[in-house]
Amino acid sequence: MTSRYIAIDWGSTNLRAWLFQNGDCQESRKSEAGVTRLNGRSPEAVLAEVTQGWRDDATPVMMAGMVGSNAGWKVAPYLPCPARFSDFGQQLTTAAPNVFIIPGLCVRQENNRNVMRGEETQLLGARALQPAPLYIMPGTHCKWVRADSEQVTDFRTVMTGELHHLLLTHSLVGAGLPAQQASTEAFRAGLAQGLETDAPLARLFEVRAAHVLGELPREQVSEFLSGLLIGNEVASMVRQWRPDTQQPITIVAGQALAERYRQALSALNISAQVLEGDTAFQAGIRSIVHAVAE
């Protein structure tokens, strides 16, 4: 590997690319050509377009995410947990000359079967930048990950983001609603309810009933529902993981979403530190490039 490389986070719906030289980001680009949106183009063609003017024969391309799935460019393996961080760069999949895909992670236990792609690279960066015994990686499918300085030991996935979207767009809860508005008050009200309930399914129809009866503004249903779902997720996962309250959890996400999870944790007297997802991803790629170069 060289001091010049390209890092790519290639997901289902989007692609982000960064060009690095001597540790510094020279340029970044975005594309909506995720692996499910290639529109008949080959991954090679999309990569060539996104990295136009960046690549030469000596510049490696390091990719992570759904590009390594069975719907992507080439299937990269899932490393079983416990998985050592040092193994990430030792089991790369070659997609094309000097183009590599980072492996995902999996859990195969009787009470937990899980997979991740892309987040493992963020974890590698988070371990270096803001180490913690427990990481929360919010998004469409939120990951809760237990790790130490050497390995990822276990993780679980909670479909909070996807459930929020489905309920608002494809269920009676969101039927006929006007454009939604941001509301800190509605989010906090939903959060309080989510944190205290052991029966979230029974609470979901109450969201519709609340706005039908005029007790919840129809423009604030999304915010209330977000609080309800995140609150219940955090409360249930904290009961399961029992994190050490003396050590802060690291939340890997954008500031706005991370703040929602930080509020939920704070209500349970658990402190958290926030690390931007892109920052974690880039640090993770950098560490793999350096490890391979050694």
Q: Which backbone phi and psi does 269 adopt, to 5 degrees?
A: 60, 35
Q: What is the pLDDT of residue 290?
A: 84
Per-residue pLDDT tens digits for 19-32: 999 889 999 999 99
Count of the separate structural domains present in the chain? 2
Confidence grade of residue 3 (pLDDT, cut at 50, 70, 90): confident
Same-domain check for residues 174 and 89: no
CATH number of the domain encompassing residue 256? 3.30.420.310
- Crossing angle of helices 277-293 and 119-129, in 10° steps, is 90
Per-residue pLDDT tens digits for 11-20: 999 999 999 9
Tokens found for residue 56: 């030469």
Supply the pTM of this predicted model.
Answer: 0.94
Q: Mean per-residue pLDDT for 97-107?
A: 96
Structural domain contains residue 124: no
Per the listing, tokens 């079967």 go with: 113
Q: What is the pLDDT of residue 293?
A: 65
Q: How far is CA 73 from the centre of its chain?
A: 20
Cα(69)–Cα(2) distance, integer angstroms: 27
Which domain range does residue 50 map to? Answer: 4-117
Structural domain contains residue 29: yes
Task: Please say if the pLDDT value at position 218 is more than 80.
Answer: yes
Per the listing, tokens 């509301």 go with: 183
Cα(13)–Cα(30) distance, integer angstroms: 11
Same-domain check for residues 22 and 87: yes
Structural domain contains residue 288: no
Q: Report the amino acid identity of residue 89.
A: G
Per-residue pLDDT tens digits for 148-194: 999 999 999 999 999 999 999 999 999 999 999 999 999 999 999 99
Task: Please say if the pLDDT value at position 199 is more than 90.
Answer: no
Q: What is the pLDDT of residue 239?
A: 95
